[in-house]
Structure formats: structure tokens, C-alpha cells
Amino acid sequence: MGCWSRESGVGKLRPLIHLLLPFFIHGVAEEIPISVLVDFTTSALCPPHSPSCPKSLYIVALQQTVVGIFKMVVLPVLGQLADEYGRKPLLLLTFSASIFPFAVMSWKQSEEYVYAYYALRTVSSIISQGSIYCIMFAYVADIVGEDERAAVFGWITGLHSASQFIGDALARFLPPHIIFGVSTSLLIICSVYILIFLSETLRLPDRKDVQPSLFRFPNPIHLLRQRFSSVANAAHLVFSSPTLRGIALVSFFYELGMFGSVTILLYYLKAVFGFNKNQFSEIQMLVGIGSIFSQIVLAPLINPFVGEKVILCFALLASIAYALLYGLAWAPWVAYLSASLGVFFVLVKPFTYAIISKASSSANQGKAQGFIAGVQSIAHLLSPMIMSSLTSLFLSSSAPFECKGFSLICASIIMMISLCFACLLEPRSHSIDDVQADLETPFLN
């Protein structure tokens, strides 16, 4: 850490270059297909010139619901495995998970292939959605000093916003039929890069004495008991800390509102204003430009003066306004105005991770980040089905009253609850007892 503390500015990211480069490429690859996926899905599943497409809304909601169910278990386990077996193998797994669904969609965009894509994408999202950030920030915490983490997390999420901007720009100009092929190629490149160049940061214990057991089929009941014990220990770690307990509630209600909004937003804009791939890309590029500035430049400058809590509360307030404006949008330009609030609401995630990291010891980074990511996945389970059902109802002719964006207004109200919990937070650093505590349960004996 000594060499780290002597660096200044963006040069502090130099020790992370072999993580950040594939992370950037992965962000570009994941972002490129988003705007075109709406058109592919609706054209494959719905009648031509249909004003709305309930089937596409429900398949997306079903996918996210299934992902949410399994993520509740998988995310905490992945965080624990990253603490036990190292960051690199888990990063390689999560970064490469999207290769197969994207490859399927690049082959053909018929109804059968769209269903196959969503099935494979469900599996890949269970593995990678949320866990990439969780394991990455555990990797960063291994080599970055506690006082520097908020700024570094901001730079990393800013880099992700930059990758999204590049991805949206490419999507705006690339022919639709090659978009998934480009994404698949980029995902393969970043996975190979991690395999060859990324170094392990976690000091792993000598496992020579347990190596023979790896060649025996483990007792599944014994493994389940060990995993349950590990999850229980992670839960104790979070709920015994007022800071971690509070940020878990903040994350739950924020994701309950925001994740559902993101799930249905593009379909809502297509149904209400007739937006297509080009408008979607423009809106996402608008968010990307502002968020790059706010995360890389603005947040590191103001954080030393106001602290993580104030920035988090301000970002949550921007999130509430973002969903509310979309819900009340009366003209297409209002959607662009709402998107401009992305400059601020993107700060929610880096400062949430910073508060979690500061409240956790180095040995418990994966467990704390993984458990709270599991809490977020409960929101990911509940939100899509509720939001898609509400959106489909209020876009139809049988709506109880005229308010096409009612589901987004509900999302903004839910995020107000998150803001209330954020105002009650008292961010604290972990105690010396936390540093010495070892709640880790081995995966195999």
C-alpha cells in the first residue's frame, strides 16, 4: 500500500491497469446490444406495428425475476469464494459469462433464438449481474488504502460510464445485424486478457494438505451446511454493524425502485413516444457523458469536504427526480431532460460500495459486498414483475386512469424510502476487532 499512497491523481489507478482494461472492454461489449435488443425482441415476439408489446415486457420481467431468485444465494457465495480461493478465478468466471448468449443472438434473431438468448442470458446474469462489481471492489480493497477507496471506486464507475458511452456510440452507428457479433468478440478478448495478465491480489493459504479431497466427490449435504453457515456468518457481519445494516436497507429500496425502472424504461419509451435504437442510444450517451464527469472529476473533488453520506443522499434525490420526470413525461424532450440527471444519480453505486468497504475489514470485503449484493438481488426479484405488470396495465386501454408512467412514479416513491434510510446513516470504519475476526468457512475440507 505504500507505493499506492505515494501516487496521486488518476495515476493511482496504475496498479489496477490489468483489471481496468478488460473491465472497460466488458462494459463496451455489454452496452452495445442494449438499444437494439428492444427492437429485436419486439419484432420477433409481437405483431408488426403493435402499439405495445406485453409479451416482451413479461419475458424481460420473468428473466429478471428468475435471476433475482438465484442471485439471492449465488451472490453471497461468490463473494465468499472470492475471499477463499482468490479474486482472479471469480473475475474470469463473471467476465466471460455473457459470451454464450451473445453468440446465440449474433447467429440469428428469430423467435426461437430470442427465447434461447433469454434462457442463456438468465444463467449468465445470475453469475455476473452485480457480482462483477462485488469482486472487483474486493480486489481493489486488497491494494488500496481505506481513505482512497471512495475516490478510486468513483473513478472505476466513471470508467464504466465511459465504456457505456462508447458502447452507445457504437450502437448508434453500427449496422444492427453485426452488433451482437462485435459484442461477443470483445467479451472473448477481455476474458483472454484476464486469464493471461491479471495478477492475484489475495494471499491464499497453502492448500496442499486439502488437495487430495478435491478429487473426491464432496458430500452435498455437508457442502450445503457449510455454505449455510458461511451465509449466516456474513449476515451476522452485516447486521451486527449499524453502518452495514443501514446501507443494506438503503440498497434494497434503491434497487427496488431503480432496477424496475431500468427494466421497463426502454419498452415504455417505445410504446409512448415511438423511440427506436437511435433515440435509445442518444439518451444513454447523454447519461454517459455526464456520469463520466461526475464520477471521475466531480466526486473525488467534493468527497473530502462533504463525505460519502452527503453525496449518497444527493444522488438518491437525483434518482427520485429521474424516475418522477420519466413517469410524468408529456413530450419526448422530457425524456432527454430526465436522462441528464444521470450526471448525479450514477453516484449512488460507487458511494454505496465505498461505505460498505470502509465499514468492512480486508478479510471480510467479499463477504460484506456479496451479502449486500444478495440483499439487492431480493429487490431485483420483486421489482421487475411488479413494474412490468403495472406498466403493461397503464399502457393498455383498460388502465383504471390515464397515467402511462404510473409505474415510474411508484418507483420514485420507493426510492424516497431509500433516501430516508440514507439520511439516518452514520458511516464508520471497521474496528480492530473486525480486522482480527475470521468468519470464513472453508468451501471444501
In the chain, the number of structural domains is 1
Whether residue 392 is contained in a domain is answered as: yes
The domain in which residue 29 lies consists of 15-198+228-426
Whether residue 432 is contained in a domain is answered as: no
Q: Per the structure block, which three cell numbers stand in for 139?
A: 480486489
Whether residue 190 is contained in a domain is answered as: yes
State if pTM tops 0.85. no
User: What sign results for the dihedral spanned by CA atoms 173, 177, 183, 186?
Assistant: negative
User: Could you write out the DSSP letters of every residue in 63-94?
Assistant: HHHHHHHHHHHHHHHHHHHHHHH-HHHHHHHH
Q: What is the CATH number of the domain that holds 313?
A: 1.20.1250.20
Please give the pLDDT value at position 9: 47
Which residues have a Cβ under 8 Å from the Cβ of 135 and sit 6 or more positions away? 78, 79, 82, 87, 90, 91, 94, 366, 369
- Whether 335 and 324 have beta carbons less than 8 Å apart is answered as no
Whether residue 215 is contained in a domain is answered as: no
Please give the pLDDT value at position 434: 46
Per-residue tens of pLDDT for the chain, all 445 residues: 434 443 444 555 667 888 899 999 999 999 888 878 877 888 888 766 665 667 777 788 788 778 878 877 787 778 778 877 888 999 999 999 989 999 998 888 888 888 999 999 999 988 987 788 888 888 888 887 777 777 777 788 788 888 888 888 888 888 888 999 999 999 999 999 999 998 888 776 655 544 444 334 445 565 556 656 666 777 777 878 888 889 999 999 999 999 888 888 878 888 888 887 778 877 877 777 777 778 777 877 888 888 888 999 999 999 999 999 988 888 888 888 888 887 888 888 888 888 888 887 766 777 787 788 778 878 887 887 788 888 888 888 788 888 888 989 999 999 999 999 999 888 666 544 444 444 444 333 3
Question: CA nearest 200: which of 97, 89, 96, 81?
Answer: 89
Whether residue 89 is contained in a domain is answered as: yes
Whether residue 431 is contained in a domain is answered as: no
Query: Cα(365)–Cα(142) distance, rounded to whole angstroms?
Result: 9
Whether residue 214 is contained in a domain is answered as: no
- Whether 151 and 300 have beta carbons less than 8 Å apart is answered as yes
The cell 444527493 sits on which residue? 314
Query: Cα(396)–Cα(407) distance, rounded to whole angstroms?
Result: 13
Q: Per the structure block, which three cell numbers stand in for 428?
A: 464508520
Please give the pLDDT value at position 416: 95
Whether residue 148 is contained in a domain is answered as: yes
Query: Cα(385)–Cα(399) distance, rounded to whole angstroms?
Result: 17
Determine the angle formed by the axes of helices 332-339 and 299-328, rounding to 10 degrees.
160
Going from the C-alpha of 157 to that of each of 93, 128, 296, the distances in angstroms are 20, 16, 8
